[in-house]
Amino acid sequence: MVPRYSRPAMSAIWAPENRYRIWFEIEALACEAMAELGEIPKESARTIRERGDAAMAAFSSADLDRIDAIEAETRHDVIAFLTWLAEKIGPDSRFVHLGMTSSDVLDTCLAVQLTQATDILLEGLDSVLVALKKQAFAHKYTLTIGRSHAIHAEPTSFGLKMAGHYAEFVRNRERLLTARAEIATCAISGAVGTFAHLDPKIEEFVAAKLGLKIEPVSTQVIPRDRHAAYFCALAVIASGIERLATEVRHLQRSEVREAEEFFHPGQKGSSAMPHKRNPVLSENLTGLARLIRSHVVPALENVALWHERDISHSAVERNICPDGTIGLDFALARLAGMMDKLVVYPEQMAANLESLGGVVHSGEVLLALARAGVLREDAYKIVQRCAMATWTKLGKPEGRSFRENLGDDPDIVGKVAPEVLDAAMDSRAHLKAVDARFRLVFGEPGPAA
């Protein structure tokens, strides 16, 4: 991922220094397990640990250059690292990587990196949840118009909108935890995964030390269905980000202006039009979501490797693992900040709610007529007739409100009391279930209205 959309902590996970540090840790732990089993001298395992730790602590750009130079000759990244490590450790390096294959190191390292990355993503999700809960409770009883097909439907609560997104991100957090558990898998099984040259206790030891579980049958690589499921989880989270970002983009439209991204002092929206206040953060989040979702198909196609292993997945994962996690980390941080500082305009929400002359209350009026004994089909025709009379003359001198048209309709006069019609036009009736919904989402209803 380009630096513009990268944050230091997540980027560091995918830096060569961290990768080589994990590679060494896997090799050192395997040696320590072999020493415990009596397969190599314990003194050699201590030497490997001490000299390797010192080499990793002093790791510099010169070491990177040395490994790259070796790889340029060997055309093999793991061998290049092991050759460099041997230079640092000395004769005892003959016990490093004993009986192991490259994928034991590569796949187990990737599992560690993905779990490290996931822990940061979980923190990002928690920040989003905090911001959404703040907005949900702040606007629990803030009336706004609900829209279906982008058209005014019935009143709702802006807080309830935010609670819905909160509930979605709670589910996303659960999905990510599941993905983390599935990806946190170790394989130290040797060539084609038969343990011909390794005691399975070595794998158990390494896995326990790294906080991973054991892959039941690694074949030589960890099966890529785990990785495919992981990237599907990231994609679902990205889609949740886009859904919320799209909502903000629509609410910030000049014709709507019910909420908008915080506009910083000194910020400029357009090089040509000084008045512009564009939803640049939510638009950016929409674009990042597209990138993150684009990794799903390559991850799924990685599942079908040839026989016990091939490396057709390698180039894919070298790109999508850092880019996917770095991109989502940045997106979550941006979303949390955007929602925390979201500027909400309750007065504009109220104005928009009544901007169609009250026709948004047609559903409640329909029910009132039905309760008064009017057949539903007849009631629908009556209410629609009155609503369309208002709709088609909005803003015109001869225009009348929905309530006025209802009050004068001959099929309503004498059948429905005026106070019943008035009650049907009260937007606050749409708040009656908010407390119950908040209990379901947050476990608490919040302050009373």
282 counts as catalytic? no
Q: Which residues contact 167 (CB under 8 A, 6 or more apart)?
A: 441
Cα(320)–Cα(324) distance, rounded to whole angstroms?
A: 5
Which DSSP symbol is given to 215? P
Residue 157, H or E segment: strand 151-157
Tokens of 291: 């990138």
Q: Which residues contact 376 (CB under 8 A, 6 or more apart)?
A: 366, 370
**Residues forming a β-bridge with 319:** none
- Going by C-alpha positions, the residue among 302, 34, 65, 33 that lies closest to residue 20 is 65
| Phi and psi angles of residue 147, each rounded to the nearest 5 degrees, phi first | -125, 135
Cα distances from 298 to residues 74, 236, 240, 319, 351, in angstroms, run 28, 16, 21, 10, 48
Which DSSP symbol is given to 101? -
Using alpha carbons only, give the angle 367, 372, 378 rounded to the nearest 5 degrees: 65
- Going by C-alpha positions, the residue among 30, 50, 26 that lies closest to residue 40 is 30
- Going by C-alpha positions, the residue among 152, 147, 153, 150 that lies closest to residue 363 is 153
Cα(270)–Cα(402) distance, rounded to whole angstroms?
A: 41
270 counts as catalytic? yes
Q: Which residue has the tokens 């005892």?
A: 92
- Going by C-alpha positions, the residue among 448, 304, 422, 425 that lies closest to residue 360 is 425
Cα(268)–Cα(277) distance, rounded to whole angstroms?
A: 8
Cα(95)–Cα(13) distance, rounded to whole angstroms?
A: 28
Q: Which residue has the tokens 């983390």?
A: 180
Query: Of 61, 149, 264, 271, which one is the catalytic site residue?
Result: 149
Q: What share of the chain is helix, strand, coil (3-state, %, to 5)?
A: 65, 5, 30
Query: Any idea how long the chain is?
Result: 449
> DSSP states of 52-76 as a string?
HHHHHHT--HHHHHHHHHHHHHH--
Cα(256)–Cα(230) distance, rounded to whole angstroms?
A: 38
Residue 168's CB is within 10 A of a number of other CB atoms, namely: 18
Q: Which residues contact 22 (CB under 8 A, 6 or more apart)?
A: 109, 112, 113
Q: Which positions are catalytic?
A: 149, 270
